């Protein structure tokens, strides 16, 4: 037993040293003191499961942060938590065959449609890099080399809701715009025009490529590289990986990497198998048991309803915390055995609480957790995003420290049950609140800590501008480390909040961060905004989703349908009813039934659309169906089409 224990300790020691990139690991080392966070914990868990064949979780690491204690815990793990290490096998033969979207990809795909408010927008990131001495032909070759290497840069999204990696694609032609003949004012106008076009563009995802590069030449030395990336094929980690590799390949003509022995297609198909396991059923029960009392998103006094916004535009607010401030925040996190991400979520939630109408609410947490199920898994790109609906509860007697520990415990427990996804749980919440059209959890927190090297010179040029957008998101808080500094970003739809309210919220957040940095004891101090909330005057209070969701059929629709009731093709009505029964897994359908009230969701709607196309060649307009989701309306439209 003692021999086994020291073998476990040695493996733990090696894994932590390798992943945390810290040579000062010892048996008494504290995971948080070494700079560990949830992202590195994911890698540690995967490595331990591979090397020791035992099932551990991120929560286990956080519960036993001392290396020796954690090793002792592993030694005592019950036999039923021992598991064989599974390595996925690369299905090279079928790599170009269509495969399913992940739950998050599917949500992005659905969000591009007009059927949702704040839809008709891509999940998209745009970057501008100021570069020196760039050779356009060399850059174009590098981009094409990366397309050959990274299979997901050859991916498209098919109209039936699946994705496909293309075997061959034509050469990517870099769009080059020579502005050197223009004066400074004219150059700025041309650059702004390019930014306006590319920063919020909706790339056609059923056509290759689902990305874009453009080079604006300013003079003999300086140029600006515009990069447009759709997150439906690249998550945050993958984007940074691409931007890092772009420079490595450009600077090294002999750059070479062996092709990975795994693909994103292999990964998706393997991960989907969990839905057939007992773990999935346990995780599903964990979430559904909380359904009835689950909190709602933050509610604000707003200027516009979602339905009043014709074309949403995201705006950015930034705050840079210098290396001194960053180190102070890291120190607070280390000393209290919490991650820097949790510290920031805690402070962010306090500002949301200050300005929201509800003191308890849900934040939509974006996580980039790539399961380490193959040695080459970190060589491949794709969308590995996971979402977690984090309930933020309020206890007025708690300090920020106590709240952060409570949030960390809750997030770890939620993440432990993430095989049943937030997208699936979101469908249940939509059904519960009869909300098939409006935003569900529009306040997002995205941590990019640990995703990139964070060096200013890691990319091909200096980052001078960036912006992101996501369907059905009001505010996305992003954080990343760049050049030893902390970069805080808020991307938001100002029309909803009014710019003045967001300015005040962002200023309050910055002031709270500064207070914690300048007085670390403040983190252990009670903060309660409940009794003195700031409010904006002369604004519309946001209605409940159930109020402005049109759940009842329009009277004119019923009158129209009564006139055509006798004309309904009974054979066709029967056929469509059978299709609904099969998709919705129910036994009885009435001609006045509402697809969504019967339990239908966006995934079921896509299944219906595909079935109608296969059987009748009929294209179901999803936006129209969302407005009138009744079987008799569908039969009437189908009758007209078949005539």
**Residue pLDDT, tens place only, 489-513:** 999 999 998 878 999 999 999 999 9
Residues 26 and 142 in one domain: no
Question: Which structure tokens are listed for 103?
Answer: 């739950």
Please provide the DSSP assignment of 287-347 as one string.
HHTTTTT-------EESS-GGG-SS--EEEEEEEE-HHHHHHHHHHHHHTT--HHHHHHHH
**Same domain, yes or no, for 157 and 30?**
no
* Confidence at residue 20, expressed as pLDDT on a 0 to 100 scale: 64
CA distance 306 to 472: 9
Where residue 26 sits, what CATH number does that domain have? 1.10.1200.10
Distance CA 182, CA 188 (A): 9
Q: Is residue 88 part of a domain?
A: no
Read off the pLDDT of residues 66-86 as tens digits, 9 standing for 90 and up.
887 888 887 777 555 555 545
CA distance linking residue 36 with residue 263, whole number of Å: 28
What distance in Å separates the CA atoms of residue 498 and residue 476, rounded to the nearest whole number? 16
Asked if residue 151 and residue 11 are part of one domain, the reply reads no
* Angle, CA of 143, 147 and 150, to the nearest 5°: 125
- Both tokens assigned to 252: 């090294």
Q: Which two three-digit tokens encode residue 404?
A: 């952060």
Cβ-proximal residues to 580 (8 Å cutoff; 6+ apart), any chain: 586, 589, 593, 595, 598, 608, 631
Nearest CA-CA partner of 441 in 391, 406, 491, 384: 391
Q: How far is CA 626 from CA 44, 120, 593, 606, in A?
A: 44, 14, 13, 12
Of 80, 107, 128, which marks where a domain is finished?
A: 80
Residue 90: inside a domain: no
**Domain-embedded: residue 126:** yes
Q: Are residues 167 and 217 in the same domain?
A: yes
Cα–Cα distance measured from residue 121 to residue 260, given in angstroms and rounded to the nearest whole number = 33
Q: Is 512 helix (H, G, I), strand (E, B) or coil?
A: helix
Q: Are residues 129 and 68 in the same domain?
A: no
N-terminal to C-terminal alpha carbon distance within the chain = 79
Q: Write out the H or E segment, with its range, that includes residue 597.
A: none
DSSP line for 399-412: BHHHHHHHHHHHHH
Kindly state whether residues 298 and 388 are assigned to the same domain: yes
Domain membership of residue 460 (yes or no) is no
**Claim to verify: residue 231 and residue 110 sit in the same structural domain:** yes
CB of 314 closer than 8 Å to CB of 491: yes
> Do 442 and 316 have their domain in common?
yes
608, 579 contact by CB (below 8 A): yes
Sorted by sequence, the CB contacts under 8 Å of residue 261 that are 6+ apart come out as 90, 374, 375, 376
Q: Report whether the peptide linkage leading into residue 5 is cis, meaning its omega lies within 30 degrees of zero.
A: no
CB neighbour class for 396 (10 Å; exposed up to 12, middle 13-18, buried from 19): exposed
Question: Does residue 331 belong to any structural domain of this protein?
Answer: yes
Residue 50, classified by CB atoms within 10 Å of its CB into exposed (0-12), middle (13-18) or buried (19+), is middle
Q: Provide the domain limits for residue 322.
A: 272-455+467-524
Q: Do 347 and 404 share a domain, yes or no? A: yes
Q: Regarding beta strands 222-230 and 124-132, do their DSSP bridges make them parallel or antiparallel, or are they unpaired?
A: antiparallel
Of 95, 149, 167, residue with least CA distance to 260? 149
Q: Does some domain include residue 203? A: yes
74 and 119 together in one domain: no
Helix (H, G, I), strand (E, B) or coil at 216: strand
We report the CATH number of the domain holding residue 210 as: 3.30.559.10
SS3 content of the chain, % helix, strand, coil (to 5): 45, 15, 40
Which CATH number fits the domain that encloses residue 505? 3.30.559.30
Q: Which of 430, 439, 198, 453 is nearest to 309 (CA)?
A: 439
Q: Are residues 451 and 370 in the same domain?
A: yes
In a domain, residue 65? The reply is yes
In the numeric block, the tokens 């595909």 are attached to: 610
Q: Is the pTM of this model over 0.85?
A: no
Q: What is the predicted pLDDT for the residue at 466? A: 94
Domain count of the fold of the chain? 4
β-pairing, 211-217 vs 175-178, is parallel
Could you tell me if residue 260 is inside a domain?
no
Parts of the chain with a pLDDT under 70: 1-23, 39, 50, 78-87, 115, 396-397, 452-456, 528-568, 602, 623, 627
| Nearest in space to 215 (alpha carbons), one of 179, 263, 255 | 179
Q: Which CB contacts under 8 angstroms, 24+ apart, belong to 83-89?
A: 83/49, 83/53, 83/54, 83/55, 84/53, 85/49, 85/50, 85/53, 86/373, 87/373, 87/374, 87/375, 88/262, 88/266, 88/267, 88/270, 88/373, 88/374, 89/266
Coil, strand or helix: which one is 364?
A: strand
Residue 575 near residue 633, CB atoms below 8 Å: no
Same domain, 491 and 599: no
Structure tokens at 498: 């009014």
């Amino acid at each position: 037993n003692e021999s086994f224990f020291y073998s476990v300790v040695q493996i733990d020691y090696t894994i932590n040293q390798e992943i945390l990139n810290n040579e000062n690991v010892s048996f008494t080392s504290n995971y948080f003191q070494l700079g560990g966070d949830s992202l590195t914990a994911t890698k540690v868990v995967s490595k331990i499961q591979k090397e020791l064949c035992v099932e551990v979780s991120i929560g286990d690491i956080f519960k036993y942060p001392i290396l020796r204690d954690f090793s002792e815990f592993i030694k005592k793990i019950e036999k039923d938590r021992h598991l064989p290490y599974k390595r996925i096998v690369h299905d090279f033969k079928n790599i170009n065959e269509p495969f399913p979207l992940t739950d998050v990809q599917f949500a992005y795909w659905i969000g591009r449609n007009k059927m949702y408010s704040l839809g008709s927008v891509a999940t998209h990131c745009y970057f501008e890099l100021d570069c020196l001495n760039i050779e356009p032909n060399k850059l174009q070759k590098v981009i094409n080399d990366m397309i050959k290497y990274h299979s997901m840069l050859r991916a498209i999204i098919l109209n039936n809701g699946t994705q496909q990696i293309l075997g061959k694609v034509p050469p990517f032609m870099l769009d080059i715009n020579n502005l050197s003949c223009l004066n400074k004012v004219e150059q700025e106008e041309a650059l702004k025009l390019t930014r306006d076009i590319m920063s919020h563009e909706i790339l056609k995802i059923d056509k290759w490529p689902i990305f874009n590069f453009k080079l604006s030449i300013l003079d003999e030395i300086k140029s600006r590289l515009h990069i447009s990336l759709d997150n439906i094929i690249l998550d945050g980690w993958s984007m940074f990986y691409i931007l890092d590799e772009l420079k490595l390949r450009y600077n090294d003509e002999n750059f070479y990497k062996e092709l990975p022995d795994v693909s994103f297609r292999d990964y998706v198909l393997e991960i989907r198998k969990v839905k057939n396991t007992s773990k999935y059923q346990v995780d599903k029960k964990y979430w559904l048991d909380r359904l009835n009392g689950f909190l709602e998103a933050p509610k604000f006094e707003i200027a516009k309803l979602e339905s009043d916004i014709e074309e949403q535009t995201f705006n950015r607010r930034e705050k840079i915390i210098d290396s001194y401030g960053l180190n102070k925040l890291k120190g607070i996190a280390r000393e209290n055995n919490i991650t820097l991400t949790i510290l920031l979520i805690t402070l962010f939630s306090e500002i949301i609480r200050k300005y929201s109408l509800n003191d308890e609410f849900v934040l939509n947490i974006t996580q980039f957790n790539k399961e380490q199920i193959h040695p080459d898994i970190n060589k491949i790109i794709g969308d590995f995003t996971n979402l977690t609906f984090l309930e933020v509860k309020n206890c007025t007697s708690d300090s920020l420290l106590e709240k952060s520990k409570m949030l960390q415990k809750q997030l770890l427990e939620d993440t432990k049950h993430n095989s049943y996804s937030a997208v699936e749980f979101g469908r249940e919440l939509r059904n519960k609140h009869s909300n098939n059209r409006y935003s569900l959890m529009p306040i997002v927190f995205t941590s990019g800590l640990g995703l990139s090297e964070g060096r200013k010179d890691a990319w091909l040029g200096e980052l001078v501008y960036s912006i992101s957008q996501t369907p059905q998101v009001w505010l996305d808080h992003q954080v990343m480390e760049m050049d030893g500094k902390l970069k805080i970003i808020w991307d938001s739809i100002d029309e909803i909040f009014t710019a003045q309210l967001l300015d005040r919220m962002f200023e309050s957040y910055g002031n709270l961060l500064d207070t914690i940095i300048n007085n670390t004891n403040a983190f252990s101090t009670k903060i309660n905004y409940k009794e003195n909330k700031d409010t904006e005057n002369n604004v519309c209070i946001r209605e409940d989703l159930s109020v402005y969701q049109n759940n009842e059929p329009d009277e004119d629709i019923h009158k129209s349908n009564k006139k055509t009731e006798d004309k309904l093709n009974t054979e066709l009505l029967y056929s469509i009813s059978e299709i609904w029964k099969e998709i919705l897994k129910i036994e009885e359908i009435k001609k006045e039934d509402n697809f969504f009230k019967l339990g239908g969701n966006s995934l079921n709607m896509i299944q219906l659309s595909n079935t109608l196309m296969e059987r009748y060649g009929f294209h179901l307009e999803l936006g129209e169906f969302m407005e009138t989701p009744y079987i008799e309306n569908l039969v009437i439209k189908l009758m007209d089409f078949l005539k």
